[in-house]
Amino acid sequence: MTTTARVRRLAWVVAAVAAVGGCSAGASTGPDATAPSAATTPPTTTAPGTTAPATTAPAVPAAATSAAPTTTGARSTPAVPSRAGNPAGRAVVPAAARAVTKPKTRWVGTGTKASCTSAAVVRAVAAGGVIGFRCGPAPVTIVLTATAKVRNTSPLVVLDGGGLVTLSGGGRRRILYMNTCDEKQVWTTSHCQDQATPQLVVQNLTFADGNATGQHEEGGGGGAVLVRGGRFRVVSSRFVRNRCDGGGQDLGGAALRVLDQYHGEPVYVVSSTFGGRAGQGGSCSNGGALSSIGVSWTVLNSVLSYNSAVGRGANPARSGTVGGGSGGAIYNDGNAMTLRLEGTVVEHNSAREGGGAVFFVSNDRTGTLRITRSTLRSNPSRGFATAGYPGIFFLGKGSPQVSGSTLR
């Protein structure tokens, strides 16, 4: 089955609105299932089981004053602060989700900002290993003139910016790409959709101004990063002003688009920020921050704010539209998958259609959504949402599991 066929097979979503007291929907593959036009988000509520006070998103810190940001590459864009995530988050981070602490095996740069070029980044990513940056003591923005691509022969690729490095797409291109099913990056198994390597880790980095508009590999999306296969995790990183196509019923992920993780293991996002303040969020047809098909996510001690899903027509697309507009921050579609948010703030995101914060549809109704000690607030769903769960559209197993959290 081609990748396109696979995506289409999973793409059917019943954009149905849950009535108070439960959800009702037809078969998820029904061609006539369309999203209602009226918003159904209820008045402000506090989720059942709430015992902890609302977690507050941290203010975006000012850039360090001891050293001025510097820029290398094709276009000047300011470096953004390296601090990331929700410092008030208290989720325990499992070993599999932590930063890689192995010694560096490869370096970008020789100690000066001028040595940290786009070509140096592209070469390092293609070579693989644990990659660090020697760009001098000041924050630096490296504007890529080509997308950095992981070779599938690399068992491990770690990009560690040390809190000083911004990788920028310059508003023109995707920043980072890994695809185990892309023959150009070398096929290494007969089951590219379910293989253990490469393992890709990005940590202590900022991804800014990535743009995957018109880049439709694997169905498109992934303005900053597109991943298919292997394993992927994000630690202590920031994603700002990334975008992808503004229309498409299943296209999404202004920051991250992920498909086919090994054995269904989750993508870990830890102590990271997507957006963070007005004007810094991502924008895409669906999933203004994160988007996936058939992939599980665990998001810990993070902040997702000021992101937007701007498509029109939902999924399946209404007549006369190209579809999209769901999952202001997070768009999850597929079958057996999970989404877990803990110690996380999701606020001021918006969706033109459904799920201003989260759009989660498990077509076979086996998928689960769990929200623990988190805050979801001010995430308008302008088309549809699940009653009793502001900012969320959910079709899965039972109802979202919410504890110690505030939803309003």
pLDDT tens-digit series, residues 109-128:
999 999 999 999 999 999 99
- At residue 68, does pLDDT exceed 70? no
Q: Determine, yes or no, domain membership for 82.
A: yes
Q: What is the mean pLDDT of residues 357-364?
A: 98
Structural domain total, the chain: 1
- What percent of the chain is predicted at pLDDT more than 70? 80
- What does the pLDDT read at residue 252? 97
* pTM of the predicted protein model: 0.83
- What does the pLDDT read at residue 73? 52
Q: Determine, yes or no, domain membership for 12.
A: no
- What does the pLDDT read at residue 17? 39
Residues 173-184 pLDDT 10s: 999 999 999 999
- What does the pLDDT read at residue 298? 98
- What does the pLDDT read at residue 304? 98
Q: What is the mean pLDDT of residues 341-360?
A: 98
- What does the pLDDT read at residue 75? 40
- What does the pLDDT read at residue 83? 76
> What confidence tier does 4 reach under pLDDT thresholds 50, 70, 90?
very low
Q: Determine, yes or no, domain membership for 234.
A: yes
**Can you tell me which residue has the tokens 């593959």?**
29
- At residue 20, does pLDDT exceed 80? no
- What does the pLDDT read at residue 23? 34
**Range with lowest mean pLDDT among 69-73, 214-218, 372-376, 402-406:** 69-73
Q: Determine, yes or no, domain membership for 353.
A: yes
**Range with lowest mean pLDDT among 81-85, 192-196, 257-261, 278-282:** 81-85
- At residue 401, does pLDDT exceed 90? yes
- At residue 86, does pLDDT exceed 50? yes
The most confident of the ranges 25-29, 30-34, 67-71, 360-364 is: 360-364
- At residue 13, does pLDDT exceed 50? no
Q: Determine, yes or no, domain membership for 38.
A: no
Q: Determine, yes or no, domain membership for 14.
A: no
> What confidence tier does 332 reach under pLDDT thresholds 50, 70, 90?
very high
Contacts for 349 with CB less than 8 Å, ≥ 6 apart: 275, 281, 288, 289, 304, 305, 306, 307, 308, 328, 329, 356, 357, 379, 391
- Domain span including residue 320: 71-407
> What confidence tier does 225 reach under pLDDT thresholds 50, 70, 90?
very high
- What does the pLDDT read at residue 61? 37
Question: Mean pLDDT for the chain?
Answer: 86
Q: Determine, yes or no, domain membership for 6.
A: no
Q: Determine, yes or no, domain membership for 30.
A: no
**Range with lowest mean pLDDT among 53-57, 114-118, 178-182, 372-376:** 53-57
- At residue 342, does pLDDT exceed 50? yes
